[in-house]
Amino acid sequence: MDLITFASLSVILVAQEAPDTRPSDAETVARDYMAAYSEMDLDRMEHFLSEDAVFTDRTALGEDVGPDGLMYESRDAAMGMLREFDAQYQPIELGFVWDTIYESNGRVVFMGHVNALYPTQDASQNYRWRAEQVTVITVRDGQVIRHQDFANYANPQRGLVPAN
Amino acid sequence: MLNLLTLTTAVLANAGLAADQPAGSIEIAQAYIAAYERQDFEAMREFMADDAVFTDPTSFDLAFVREPIHWTGADEILAGVSAWNVARGEYHLDRVYEAAGRVVFDASMDVFYATSEGERGFRYPIVTIVTVENGLVTEHRDYTGFNDMAPILDAETNQ
């Protein structure tokens, strides 16, 4: 049996079964983890990460960013980066809105936008940074072992918006 | 045989850009994906760097995928892709964007197989991330919704 057979037979069988719309365990973990990320609830995020979790952003841009983007190769390193970001910019939220989420082989894919809000000196206004984003979360044994962001850093929408 | 200059010129012309402008990563990635949709393997080859990688981590360890989709070099990649025996594919794009040489295609994809009973199509969500360096594709990275594959009914194919 070759790959053609997989494509033409196995997929047909899989596709013709009644769809199971229940999220997988991996998807449930990833959704909860990403909800914490969206709210910048870092303590809750950390709870989901394995000790050797890898956090990457290969679309990152900046003077200190190399051609392979950003990579943090442990939970401590990733959380250290996120806590530094939180302390420096004090985001209110990252405000993810996902229009497609799916899971295959422990990889949970989120497709949508980031709508990050930051406070300004004017309490009636927030600064919003909005861009397209894909995030892929790999879950093994109930823990997040890999977090990969791909965001449109090159062409975000930026501006002031009313605070609530 | 088409070459990169021919393809790039065609893409730029289609995009309404001047032919003497250097093609950006996004235009190169779009032309490569167009060749992939047509299953035009020679055209795909012209876009690929010698050490190009084609990978789909969502295929790893799946019982119904005999071998993980992870190939290096044009020969291995094109042998792998052509073995699927796909007649054609169509990306239905929600978003395309580029940052740091990574061109991200948020989409669903229709693939069509020519069978003895006629063409059969399947639709699934997909993210394809094409990395372009020095004008060549160095990585084609898919995240495929294998669990969300659904057959395409005849009435849907014209949508």
pLDDT digits (tens, 9 = 90+) for B64-109: 666 789 999 999 999 999 998 899 999 999 999 999 999 999 999 9
Terminal-residue alpha carbon distance, chain A: 59
Closest chain A CA to residue B96: A132
In a domain, A5, yes or no: no
In a domain, A58, yes or no: yes
In a domain, A93, yes or no: yes
For chain B, which domains are there? Answer: 4-156 (3.10.450.50)
Is B2 within 8 Å of chain A by CB? no
What ipTM was predicted for this assembly? 0.84
Phi, psi of A23, rounded to the nearest 5 degrees = -65, 145
- Residue B36's Cβ-count burial label (10 Å; 0-12, 13-18, 19+) is buried
Phi, psi of B19, rounded to the nearest 5 degrees = -70, -20
Closest CA to B65 of A2, A12, A136: A2
In a domain, A101, yes or no: yes
H-helix or E-strand spanning residue A69: none
Q: Tell me the chain A residues in contact with residue B131 when contact means C-beta distances shorter than 8 Å.
A: 58
The CATH number of residue A145's host domain is: 3.10.450.50
Interchain CB distance below 8 Å, A61 and B100: yes
Interchain CB distance below 8 Å, B102 and A58: yes
Count of C-beta atoms within a 10 Å radius of residue B30: 22
Is B1 within 8 Å of chain A by CB? no
Count of C-beta atoms within a 10 Å radius of residue B57: 21
H-helix or E-strand spanning residue A58: none
Could you list the residue range(s) of the whole structural domain that residue A43 is in? 22-154
Q: C-alpha distances in angstroms, B144 versus A5, A57, B14, B105, B130?
A: 18, 19, 29, 12, 14
Closest chain B CA to residue A110: B127
Selected residue of A5, A54, A104, A157 to mutate for chain B interface (largest B Cβ count, 10 A): A104
Selected residue of B54, B64, B96 to mutate for chain A interface (largest A Cβ count, 10 A): B64
pLDDT digits (tens, 9 = 90+) for B124-156: 999 999 999 999 999 999 999 998 999 998 655
Total of domains in chain A: 1
